């Protein structure tokens, strides 16, 4: 759906085009610039994303002469896997080093027939939500499209998804790792459309979800570029509380955000789509019965399902985990009001893979992490980023 056709050069040291992150439209433009036919793009998409190939010599339906040309002009480079960790519950976590040395994490969570991959879109995040470990890290840079889709490529390969007959394990992708996807719009859109493209991963549009804290101008443009699912990180039923938890709310308050989300859903060709409302429950902050009732009232005319996320404490945060009683009471009120309300369970605890537990190293260019550390009573090494 994207109409962006400029070709990006993602590997600074070689000046070759990294084909891994190119959308179909960009790959077509690339082959046309070589005087080749459009169908080469489909062939190469399949080699890279369906068969996990990163070596042009393996592309046997492409002539030797073209392969040589490709080797001179292009490359297929995924970020480097530093470590892969498997939890007793089947959760798999990848520590991935991207160009510049930062480490991001990608988590695979199996649940019955479903396998959900939680993907990062930026190194750190500039939006500084008060309960979020990534926000406390500050922001370094956007991930390239190759680094975003590279996380899917790496996970798919690790499950043998790329070998003929290999089990298809990544059935769903959520952009809920590090970063605010709508602040890295073009790269996220290209990567999402590769996730859903039939010649790439072929994941249904109902199984790819972008999560945003509410960058309204970007959300207003989104339906022109993709028809993936949408999750809104709401976390509060009124502006006063949301301003405290999610500072971008001061710029784009709740009513504006929900209107924009409704327009996104309405613009999609298929009906019956619901917006997922993410609500991280924090003890004594946003977990009271009146918050649940206010939320029910607020969402009355919005097609939603609600996902409650128990806050995962991390070092340097004073917030506490919601009590079981408050969680159940909150869920009960919403269900009585007629909302589909699920609770996100903590997975991969033994490998620190739950929301708010992911570890990595970020070279924070805003120095926010350093300031934050200085303020803390006991200085801690920077180690927690992502969810
Ligand atoms: N920036 C985007 C996507 C990444 S955040 C967004 O905010 O939507 C993905 C989800 O993890 C968000 O809903 C966020 O609120 C939640 N999250 C962040 N820190 C958390 C924590 N410590 N415990 C539980 N959930 C957390
Ligand atoms: Fe950024 Fe999302 Fe964390 Fe807020 S919750 S700081 S938007 S990653």
Residues with CB under 6 A from ligand 2: 125, 127-129, 132, 134-135, 179-180, 213, 233
What is the per-residue pLDDT across 207-219, written as a single tens digit (0 to 9) for each? 999 999 999 999 9
Q: Which residues pair with 231 in a beta bridge?
A: 211, 276
**C-alpha to C-alpha distance for 260 and 32, rounded to whole angstroms:** 37
What value does the mean pLDDT take over residues 32-56? Answer: 96
Q: Which residues pair with 58 in a beta bridge?
A: none
**Is the CB of residue 137 below 6 angstroms from any atom belonging to ligand 1?**
no
Pairing of strands 275-281, 229-233: parallel
Q: Which residues pair with 83 in a beta bridge?
A: 95
The pLDDT value recorded for residue 347 is 67
Give this prediction's pTM: 0.90
What is the per-residue pLDDT across 95-107, written as a single tens digit (0 to 9) for each? 999 999 998 989 9
What value does the mean pLDDT take over residues 34-61? Answer: 96
**C-alpha to C-alpha distance for 358 and 177, rounded to whole angstroms:** 9
Active site residues per annotation: 105, 355
**C-alpha to C-alpha distance for 169 and 115, rounded to whole angstroms:** 6
pLDDT of 357 strictly over 80: no
Going from the Cα of 85 to the center of ligand 2, the distance in angstroms, rounded, reads: 24
pLDDT of 385 strictly over 90: no
Mutate which of 122, 179, 215, 235 for ligand 2? The one with the most ligand atoms within 8 Å of its CB, which is 179
The pLDDT value recorded for residue 167 is 64
The pLDDT value recorded for residue 314 is 85
| pLDDT, the chain, mean | 88
The pair of structure tokens assigned to 191 is 């990567």
The pair of structure tokens assigned to 247 is 């500072």
How many CB atoms sit inside 10 A of residue 3's CB?
A: 8
CB-based contacts of 28: which residues, under 8 Å, 6+ apart?
A: 5, 38, 41
What is the per-residue pLDDT across 253-281, written as a single tens digit (0 to 9) for each? 999 999 999 999 999 988 789 999 999 99
Q: Which residues pair with 111 in a beta bridge?
A: 114
**C-alpha to C-alpha distance for 333 and 261, rounded to whole angstroms:** 24
| Phi (first) and psi of residue 230, to 5 degrees | -125, 135
Question: Given 3-state DSSP classes, what are the helix, strand and coil percentages for the chain, each rounded to the nearest 5?
Answer: 35, 20, 45
pLDDT of 16 strictly over 70: yes
**Is the CB of residue 212 below 6 angstroms from any atom belonging to ligand 1?**
yes
Q: How confident is the model at residue 349 (pLDDT cuts 50, 70, 90)?
A: low
Q: How confident is the model at residue 6 (pLDDT cuts 50, 70, 90)?
A: very low
For the ranges 11-20, 214-223, 332-341, the lowest mean pLDDT is seen at 11-20
The pLDDT value recorded for residue 2 is 39
212: helix, strand or coil: strand
176: helix, strand or coil: coil
For the ranges 11-15, 39-43, 211-215, 266-270, the lowest mean pLDDT is seen at 11-15
Query: What's the chain's length in residues?
Result: 387
């Amino acid at each position: 759906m994207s109409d962006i056709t400029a070709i990006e050069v993602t590997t600074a040291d070689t000046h070759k085009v990294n084909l891994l992150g190119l959308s179909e439209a960009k790959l077509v433009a690339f082959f046309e610039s070589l005087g080749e036919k459009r169908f080469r793009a489909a062939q190469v998409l399949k080699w890279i994303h369906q068969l996990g190939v990163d070596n042009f010599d393996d592309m046997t339906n492409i002539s030797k002469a073209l392969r040589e040309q490709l080797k001179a002009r292009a490359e297929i480079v995924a970020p480097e896997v530093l470590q892969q960790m498997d939890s007793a519950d089947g959760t798999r976590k990848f520590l991935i080093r991207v160009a510049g040395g930062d480490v991001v994490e990608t988590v695979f969570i199996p649940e019955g027939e479903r396998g959900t991959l939680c993907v990062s879109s930026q190194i750190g995040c500039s939006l500084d939500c008060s309960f979020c470990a990534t926000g406390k890290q500050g922001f370094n840079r956007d991930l390239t499209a190759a680094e975003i889709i590279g996380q899917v490529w790496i996970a798919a390969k690790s499950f043998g998804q790329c070998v003929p007959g290999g089990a298809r394990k990544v059935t769903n992708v959520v952009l809920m790792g590090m970063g605010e996807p709508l602040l890295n719009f073009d790269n996220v859109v290209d990567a999402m459309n590769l996730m859903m493209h039939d010649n790439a991963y072929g994941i249904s549009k109902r199984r790819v979800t972008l999560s945003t804290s509410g960058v309204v101008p970007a959300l207003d443009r989104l339906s022109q570029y993709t028809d993936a699912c949408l999750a809104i990180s709401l976390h509060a039923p009124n502006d006063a509380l949301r301003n405290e938890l999610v500072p971008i709310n001061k710029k784009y308050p709740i009513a504006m955000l929900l209107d924009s989300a409704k327009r996104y859903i309405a613009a999609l060709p298929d009906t019956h789509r619901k917006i997922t409302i993410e609500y991280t429950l924090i003890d004594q902050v946003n977990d009271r019965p009146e918050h649940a009732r206010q939320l029910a009232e607020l969402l009355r005319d919005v097609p939603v399902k609600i996902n409650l996320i128990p806050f995962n404490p991390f070092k340097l945060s004073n917030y506490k985990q919601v009590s079981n009683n408050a969680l159940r009471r909150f869920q009960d009120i919403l269900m009585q009001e007629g909302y589909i309300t699920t609770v996100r369970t903590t997975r991969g605890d033994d490998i620190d893979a739950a929301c708010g537990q992911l570890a990595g190293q970020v070279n924070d260019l805003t120095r926010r992490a350093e300031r934050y550390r200085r303020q803390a009573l006991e200085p801690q090494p920077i180690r927690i980023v992502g969810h």
